[in-house]
Amino acid sequence: MNAGARWQKSSFSGPDNNPDCLELAAAPGAILLRESDAPEAVIAAAHVKVRALITRIKEGALQ
């Protein structure tokens, strides 16, 4: 499922060699998530669920 995925890191993660961040990639019907320091462990989540999580984070609802 993640073969050829185009992974993105947050600009808050620092330089490209920083292994301590979450990466996201789009896949058909899902968003893929992985940690930079363990790229072989990939989970998939529904677009709507990831969107809801990001919205709540931006609103400060999870602090």
pLDDT tens, the chain, 63 aa long: 567 889 998 776 666 666 678 899 999 999 999 988 888 999 999 999 999 988 998 899 887
9: amino acid identity, one letter: K
- For Cα atoms 6, 7, 12, give the angle at the middle one, nearest 5 degrees: 145
Residue 1, domain member (yes or no): no
Q: How many domains does the chain have?
A: 1
Residue 2 forms part of a structural domain: no
Q: Which domain holds residue 17?
A: 8-59
Tokens read off for 17: 């060699």
3-state secondary structure of 12: helix
| pTM, entire model | 0.74
Q: Is residue 42 part of a domain?
A: yes
| Residue at 3 is within a domain | no
CB-side neighbour CA atoms (13 Å) of 27: 18
